[in-house]
Structure 1
Amino acid sequence: MGFYKEDYEMIESLLESGRLKKGFKVCEFGAQDLCEDRNGERILNSNDRISPKGVYESYGAKEYCCIDLERYHNALNFDLGKDFKTEYGFDEKFDLVTCKDVGHWVFNQEAMWNNLHNLCKKGGVIIWRSPFGGGFAQGCYAYHHYKVLQLVFFNNYLLLGGYITEYLHDVANGKFDNFDKKPAEKLKMRNGADFIDAVEEYMGREGCWRYLPLKQGLPSVSFELMFLKQEDSPFIPPLTYYDEPERTITRNAKSVAQNCCPKISKNKVAIFGAARAGGVANEFAKASGLNVACVIDDVQTGTANFCAGGGGIIVSFNEFLEKYQNQCDFILVGPCQKGEIEGREGLKIPVFKLDMRWFVG
């Protein structure tokens, strides 16, 4: 549980964007230790543990507390897996709530996330760091990156970006006290639509420590993400099930649109494909509040049978360019759509493809 160079950068970015303001209140899950300075240089200080409280105060925090059963740094002695309000009468609200390298040790995940969610005020930010797929011997859980994105959608968080890094824990001298850590890198993502691919690109690169034999150390890859809490509503676990795509695609559609769609200003889209994939895209458009201007198809003509009412007229690509392109924010493409529209000559607006991994998996 540490405070690193990327943590300074996150706080600075939140202050610069106005997400945090001077006088903010912060609560950290786990008694975090100051491990690096602003330049990423390791802080060496005998056996003493240094709290990051002073760093937060230097950025303008007016209140700092941390929660940890081991009670370092004057921590509140709460079990993260129990409801803070009912067990301890603790019901404060904070501008920033963090959970770094500790959440995956808590067996009751729903209770832990419920506490994180409830302590963060509406308009506040949650910062969360934990191992995922390949966090060998790291706690009770390693998180699936699809589920992390679905957690964002279920709770109408806005994913503000984050970092990714690797650890290699020394087997011979103790699993967790001695470790190597690579410098954290910003995830290569414009918005939530790029999150899954950005994580998988990092995981698949040559030289990733997860490919090393275990006799060299216990590897883990962790991401650290920032979530903006936009609603004062109960926490919802990201539990999904398989269903027909027409129904699955409507899950949390407004949050998916906010996190993943290209910029929306005209509130009109065109759908590519007049067959089933286009119909699935149409269900997403209806659920997310987007208006369909037309349906583009290279073969069919007339009216798309999935569009009751307006917006179902089928046009050729050339007709779309001439009559509809200037009305639309982007072209919406359903999952498993045959054919390709992206890159065609004359196309000046983005193409947005729905990914079923956002809705189930």
Structure 2
Amino acid sequence: MGINAELVNMAASLRQSGKLTGASIIELGAQDVCVVDEVIGRILSRFALPRVTTPISGAADLYKLLGFSTYRAIDASGQQGSLLFDLNEDLQRRYNYSETFDLVTNLGTAEHCFDQRTVFSNIHNLCKVGGLMIHALPAQGNVNHAFYNYHPRFFADLATANGYEVIDLSFTVDYKPALTGYTRGDFQKWDSHDILFYACFKKVDDKEFRVPFDGMFAANNQLEGYMASSADPLKTEFSPYLKGGNWENTKGRSIDEPEHKNTLGGILKRLLGGQK
């Protein structure tokens, strides 16, 4: 996806607040810097961070201004000096790679990886205890962009399963550089647009990565190995909703409506029932 203005603003804000500490960062994907130097300079100035005095030629230059002296990236292309690792593989087992970082960014990369369990486990393992993980991933729209879009509850259940402290949940609309704090109502208002969802988590312990269980069914889960939960997402900001219909439609009664007369189901019903 690339590094955009809202990511720079989020990182600068976290650095100024003291929530983002340390000097090492690793990115999933060798990210291009999309935002122009002038805007970066204004953002950094607003948060009393170093000024832009020379052109920013790449991600490492930008992150240095944000206080990171150690920069790594993982990318299947090997571009920009990135580590040539397959994120569908466990990095520790496949490559014997166990370095950890104060910040791990996943800026539009995980959706291009088929093995979601492994990629999110890799992110967990790359992050130091006390470090942050920032995800910026497509949630709505972006048709044919990649394999996956991510619902807000995906992030809520991911954090619950792994005991992450939730620092921020927000989203942008149509790639405009304005973050809106997540509520179900605000998300629903914009969900016909291209939405990028931002989630910032703090890793608070050194436990192994745990696969989330869908919170809607967690209370009734009898399988071993998943975190037990009595929380009911149906009573939270992460409850589901339908855009254009309702569950009554699954009963099939609408097949007699005029717009369904010439569908295969409508034709068969008329033939079998002797209707014209």
Unaligned runs of 5+ in 1: 42-48, 168-180, 211-219, 254-282, 285-333, 337-353
Distance verdict in 2 for CA 1:16–1:151, change over 3 Å? same
Q: Find 1:97's aligned residue among 84, 104, 107.
A: 104
Paired residues for 1:264-343 under 5 Å: none
Paired residues for 1:126-275 under 5 Å: 126-167=133-174, 181-187=175-181, 189=182, 194=183, 196-203=184-191, 210=193, 220-240=194-214, 242=217
Q: Distance in 1 between matches of 2:19 and 2:228?
A: 24
Indicate whether 1:119 and 2:107 are aligned. Answer: no
Q: Find 1:52's aligned residue among 38, 59, 71.
A: 59
Q: Distance in 2 between matches of 1:24 and 1:149?
A: 27
How far the C-alpha of 1:3 sits from its partner, in A, is 1.0
Distance verdict in 2 for CA 1:246–1:235, change over 3 Å? closer
C-alpha distance after superposition, 1:21-71 (max 9, x if no partner): 3x5100000000011136548xxxxxxx94211111112212001000111
Output the aligned Cα RMSD: 2.9
How far the C-alpha of 1:13 sits from its partner, in A, is 1.5
8 Å contact 1:106–1:112 — kept in the other structure?
Answer: yes
8 Å contact 1:155–1:235 — kept in the other structure?
Answer: yes
How far the C-alpha of 1:225 sits from its partner, in A, is 1.8
Distance verdict in 2 for CA 1:58–1:234, change over 3 Å? same
The equivalent residue for 1:80 is 87
The equivalent residue for 1:355 is 236
SS class of match (2:187): helix
Distance verdict in 2 for CA 1:86–1:246, change over 3 Å? closer
Q: Distance in 2 between matches of 1:55 and 1:244?
A: 45
The higher-RCO structure (CA 8 Å, 6+ apart) is 2
How far the C-alpha of 1:229 sits from its partner, in A, is 1.1
Residue identity matched to 2:178: A
The equivalent residue for 2:26 is 27
Higher fraction of helix = 2
8 Å contact 1:67–1:78 — kept in the other structure?
Answer: yes
Higher fraction of strand = 1
- If the length of structure 1 is used for normalisation, what is the TM-score? 0.55
Q: Distance in 2 between matches of 1:93 and 1:161?
A: 22
8 Å contact 1:6–1:163 — kept in the other structure?
Answer: no
Q: Distance in 2 between matches of 1:61 and 1:356?
A: 35
How far the C-alpha of 1:242 sits from its partner, in A, is 2.9
- If the length of structure 2 is used for normalisation, what is the TM-score? 0.70
The equivalent residue for 2:46 is none
Q: Distance in 2 between matches of 1:245 and 1:234?
A: 24
SS class of match (1:231): coil
Residue identity matched to 1:200: Q
Q: Distance in 1 between matches of 2:195 and 2:233?
A: 29
SS class of match (2:166): strand
Distance verdict in 2 for CA 1:157–1:252, change over 3 Å? farther
Distance verdict in 2 for CA 1:356–1:107, change over 3 Å? same
Distance verdict in 2 for CA 1:33–1:50, change over 3 Å? farther
Once the two structures are aligned, what percentage of the paired residues are identical?
A: 29
8 Å contact 1:33–1:50 — kept in the other structure?
Answer: no
How far the C-alpha of 1:186 sits from its partner, in A, is 3.1
Residue identity matched to 2:217: Y
8 Å contact 2:218–2:228 — kept in the other structure?
Answer: no
8 Å contact 1:29–1:68 — kept in the other structure?
Answer: yes
The equivalent residue for 2:117 is 110
Unaligned runs of 5+ in 2: 41-55, 241-276
Distance verdict in 2 for CA 1:90–1:83, change over 3 Å? same
